[in-house]
Structure 1
Amino acid sequence: MVSRRVFLQLITTSIMATLVTPLALILHAKRTYKRGPEVRVGEDCIDLPPPRLDGDVSLERSLANRRSIRDYLDEPLSIEEVSQLLWAAYGITETIHGFKTSPSAGATYPAEIYIVVGEKGVTIGDEGYLEPGSYHYNPHAHRICVVKKGELRHELYKAALEQEWVLKAPVSIVVTVVFERTTRRYGERGIRYVWIEVGHIGQNIYLQATALGLGTVAVGAFLDEQVKKIIGAPESHNPAYIMPVGRPVTPYTLDERELHAYIMAHREKST
């Protein structure tokens, strides 16, 4: 039989454990994460800040201001911006089946996303800069992991037929695809579905970059095998897009009145 004193001690211990455990977790999080409980930098992987589902720029404004931008300021992106771009490209939007931001034929999801980070290309709070190199994006864990270390932008620039924006952008997102994931279900027609999906991913990146005040351009002219080797992708990961991203020298903004005047002028011409 448990005495009253022992019983009270057990109750007190249980209550204290309930109060202390969350406090310990909070203190541990503060020690582990340098910029709130979002960014954790490990030896080879970085847990990205969670994506935001509400931004400051409307979809309509992002559509209006979307442009292919090739001139960037010599400034880094933040890890928060990288997180948002990668999530927009191919992140998770449904937590039961793991559906993603891009529509995919039969939810086969053939794409694999890489990001090439230049020297001092991405800031991580007060810790400094993300190490230069190529990283592979894991959408389910919202994490990037190192594939190859080192400054790779010049090599990527050469493989992209010396398009300067690939060299000067602080980062480049490289979209690769595994055709077999889709063709094993849809046969040869699946090749078309894969390319359609690449277009969806590219537009997602365009719109998110615009909403963040960044600029990007879709690059399709490059030497596939060289790009694959530079980013350290396996043989089955076929490069489809290189999308350099940076802060635009000259941001584009569509004036609503100009748009309305343009529409009215063309209505008059067609009558």
Structure 2
Amino acid sequence: MHIITLPSPITETYLGKLLKERRSIRSYREGSLTLQELSSLLWYAYGCVEPGCERRTSPSAGATFPFEIYVSVKKDGVEGLEPGIYRYNAEENKLEEVLKGDFSRELAKACLGQRWVLNAPVNIILVAVADRTTEYYGERGWRYIFNEAGHIGQNIYLASVEMGLGTVAVGAFHDDQVSKVLNLPEGYVPVYVFPVGKAR
């Protein structure tokens, strides 16, 4: 077996520094996010980068973009924003209210009682609308959907580092319970939950 010794990677770049600082954070300082911070975080995650939203900040198989981004906001979680469940409208850069009220306890319970879900001022939930991808790629489309969830999740991690926030990827939850908390339409499947707060 022939072994090649590689030159040392160049890590002292802006991206390199973000990647070295990226870690899962499950404990958050007191304090609300600003609406600007939430807006930026959602755009970094899955925002539109050109008119018509034909290209986004995350790659998507066949540009099928199977994800809807939901946000659960606690009481006093975001300055100037009422507690509730919202859907991110990337095309218009707007939040659409789904439900009024603080659902952090219900969401945490659906996530097996994980306290960081309860304590975070905001939880970002990635919800797949599988038909958008599987109608084109068949059952293999599910693999592409999960790949895309990883792309979006890494964006959330790196954006959080840049903004002085903390997050952790949560995959342990009861799908049906999370769907009920978010009042998801039929065919919408929760894939990932990202609690976000001010990093300690």
TM, length-normalised to structure 2:
0.91
Within 2, Cα distance between the matches of 1:217 and 1:143?
Answer: 24
1:98 shift after superposition: 2.4
Within 1, Cα distance between the matches of 2:76 and 2:52?
Answer: 37
1:59 shift after superposition: 2.3
Counterpart secondary structure, 1:122: coil
Counterpart secondary structure, 1:100: coil
Q: 1:187 aligns with which of 127, 138, 160?
A: 138
Equivalence for 2:94: 143
Equivalence for 1:70: 26
Equivalence for 2:69: 113
Higher helix content, 1 or 2: 1
Whether contact under 8 Å (1:58, 1:211) holds in the other structure is: no
Q: 1:81-120 to 2 correspondence within 5 Å?
A: 81-95=37-51, 98-120=54-76
Within 2, Cα distance between the matches of 1:68 and 1:170?
Answer: 16
Equivalence for 1:221: 172
Counterpart secondary structure, 1:158: helix
2:158 is the counterpart of 1:202: no
Counterpart secondary structure, 2:190: strand
1:248 shift after superposition: 1.5
- Structure 1, gaps ≥5 residues long: 1-56, 124-128, 250-271
Whether contact under 8 Å (1:213, 1:247) holds in the other structure is: yes
Residue identity over aligned pairs, in percent, reads 52
1:97 shift after superposition: 5.4
Equivalence for 2:183: 232
1:88 shift after superposition: 0.8
Structure 1 residue runs of 4+, over 6 Å off? none
Within 2, Cα distance between the matches of 1:139 and 1:237?
Answer: 17
TM, length-normalised to structure 1:
0.68
In structure 2, give the amino acid aligned to 1:70: R
In structure 1, give the amino acid aligned to 2:198: R
Equivalence for 2:6: none
Counterpart secondary structure, 1:114: strand
Within 2, Cα distance between the matches of 1:90 and 1:130?
Answer: 21
Query: Which deviations, in whole Å up to 9, do the C-alpha atoms of 1:97-148 show, x marking residues without a partner?
Result: 521111000000000000000000001xxxxx31001000000100001100
Whether contact under 8 Å (2:54, 2:63) holds in the other structure is: no
Whether contact under 8 Å (2:53, 2:91) holds in the other structure is: no
2:162 is the counterpart of 1:211: yes
Equivalence for 1:131: 82
- More relative contact order, 1 or 2 (CA 8 Å, 6+ apart): 2
Whether contact under 8 Å (2:178, 2:190) holds in the other structure is: yes
Whether contact under 8 Å (2:71, 2:122) holds in the other structure is: yes
Within 2, Cα distance between the matches of 1:246 and 1:73?
Answer: 7
- Give the RMSD, CA atoms, in angstroms: 1.2
2:35 is the counterpart of 1:79: yes
